[in-house]
Amino acid sequence: MTSEEIVEKIKTDQGKAINSSEVNLGDSVIFVGAERIHDIAEYLKNDPDLDFDYLSNITGTDYLNEEREPRFEVVYELHSIEKNHSIRIRVGLDEEDPTIPTVSDLWKGALYPERELFDMFGFNIKGHSNLSRLIMPEEWEGNPLRKDYPLTIEDVTFSHNREFKQDLVKSKPRTR
């Protein structure tokens, strides 16, 4: 199926469940609320025409500098091995309560990227079997890939966002 056909089909079947959809640079993209993501993922995996059996990637994004609501986003990339098409699901996450249900019951491959989201962004993955630090040490404080986590606490000689960073250095809690 082409990207346009995928988006059309999802709009007809699940029009109420998704927030919006688009074809972005040739890729089909749907926007889903965090409370709906598991249902949509189940539908995408089990629908015989869509058949998204392969989870390629899960990414977190922090849009702090762009000042938009909601602040966080989780992005899923799915492939269908049989049908050879792909989709991207973008899920907005609230700053106060970044909670999202796990999809690791559908695709086992989600176990690690979801743990990485917990580690690097501090998202709460509901229903995950082993939610603990993955890449950072167990006792680490803070979530390194959030935008308000400074790149370095030392003063740097050159930076693109020097002032922004120096404010953070003053207010930064001890990392360890």
Footprint of other proteins (CB under 8 A): 24-25, 27, 53-57, 59, 61-63, 65-66, 75, 77, 81, 84, 88, 107-113, 133-137, 144-145, 147, 151, 159-161
Q: How far is CA 77 from CA 53, 59, 65, in A?
A: 11, 8, 24
**Of 13 and 77, CB closest to other proteins:** 77
Least Å from the CB of residue 143 to other proteins? 11
**Of 13 and 85, CB closest to other proteins:** 85
Cβ(7)–Cβ(28) below 8 Å: yes
Least Å from the CB of residue 35 to other proteins? 23
Closest-CA residue to 175 (of 133, 147, 140, 143): 140
Pairing of strands 99-101, 124-126: parallel
**Of 36 and 147, CB closest to other proteins:** 147
Cβ(111)–Cβ(128) below 8 Å: yes
**Of 8 and 53, CB closest to other proteins:** 53
